[in-house]
Chains A and B, each alone.
Chain A
């Protein structure tokens, strides 16, 4: 029985010009989106590699120099692109790709793509995630909005009943009929992406389980949509109205909910402005140890303490360079201040994340969006992971440079390190969070998505008894 229903529905769907046209448009758009994203990815990856090599060359060829001058000269680290950003670019457009690491300062990642583009890019770009998140649900609506209501409108419902159709079988048949074309479209798109990713070497390493997880998340998202669309179709007698209600749901879930969530999150836990944030840090830094100023109150305290510790009466007699030691202590203090304030900012980001997550219960779009970005390593968390790794490296660089002076020079002597010093500094390497870490971080969001599915399925199942 179910087989016949599926067969009949599929025949109808595929016969329908609207489905054919829209499916063709989706594939065309997806093709363009993949192509464009792919080109961009290759470009960025090439730039990244070139910049990374150049940067290291510039750093190593500084020549003989005072290590603290080198610290001020600083170095740049660049954020690598994750392979799955080919499918979901996430917040990549809005976060910078390079961080300047220098003495005394922790800098933000600079140069986001969005700042270099026109306001039009805020409408959304033609990327695979746009198609997966917005357009395919629309196709589902197109397939399913009249799947029950057409039987009522065409009075074929009586005929169906007279054939002795069992309610749940009809329901399962229609549900599967809506699912199959969606599955086909999604599977083809993911297969193409997977082939593109495996066939190219410059895409870095990606794990199969990541792409499967992504595929699974999107399938859940589509299942939720199918449930909702079929529910509306079964409740509303007129196809036109069913379509309008479906559309309202789509707009609310995909457009309105994220925007409202972002406004609520910002209103509840506002970020400080750049200016304010920097000021707070500057004020707190002033109160502590200043590595450049030996007459600073904290520096004096440290000097006395060290003299006492080493049982000498002058810093000249210390077995190491006290200037560099002081500089390092100042650096450590400053790093602490930065860590504290960035910690507060991260706390705020987490709280905002909490608002988004709690609002995930009003729209299946939100948990899908977050999971998709998380798996693709293009979410805010992975950006944090990168900037934190950069900061850790910066602190390490300062320790290395101050340590070089500390070991090799006497107090109040201007030390010039030999030209080969710089290549001894370890290179920056960054590993994005692994799949297991991402999974652990996102179990909450994932369960929201599963609950969405279970609830909508239950709703659909229990309200369909009359068939």
Chain B
């Protein structure tokens, strides 16, 4: 499809106009860090962000999402998508969205996720500064980002905007940007390729080899005990991850005590109660009672179980889990390297 060239002020004018008529979610600064948030004007947008605290999955799969409402007579769904432009998504987060798209669509299609996903136009953007814990340069390189509608790359003097889908075409149809030259397109390609070598952390292993080794390590109890020794079972590593999508479901009444809602909340397999079942007499049985079993489950899912479906690990290399873990043990680079280097 086509590519355009924009000066900074073209982008500002476009975003300002867009935000007047459409819900635009983009990276903005918040207490020295960055978050995806709804914007009112272009001035808030920070395309020079390194990584956001939470991934953009929250647009389609919010931390608390109503799935059913009820009153005394009836029960109904809560699917109510809002046309949204998700702007400034780094390529590794595009990968994360693509993965959750597949997981919510397979077997039983989850309209509570997909409806908002389909109502959203995604404009990806190049990485301008690299977060210190990122390792996207070296994980899942065979998995190409897809699912975005356009891709904006910062180059000297402005931006190159490549249009990927019809939705992308529609979004920029009336913007009046000029066509990019082939040199500008080549410069954008180079800028994105150069960035791939700039992560501080690297995981220099082939995805299939990682999947096989991680799976083989399942029964190595000593290894998992060692790796997870300091785990608090807080679940932060799950919460910040773009590819985690587990949830809990809870009901609540409105004040009238007859109507109410059923809501799903982000849940975390690292927490103690996640796999516990209740037995008669106030007893319970936990299928992953020890934190090492839960820690192992996270890595089995990321690096082994989901690989076949996703064509690579369910990890984008964003490094959010590494940064979020108080005990500093969640880092996939550390864990996978330990497994790969362990003599078998």
| A and B together in one complex | no
- Which B residues are closer than 8 A to A by beta carbons? none
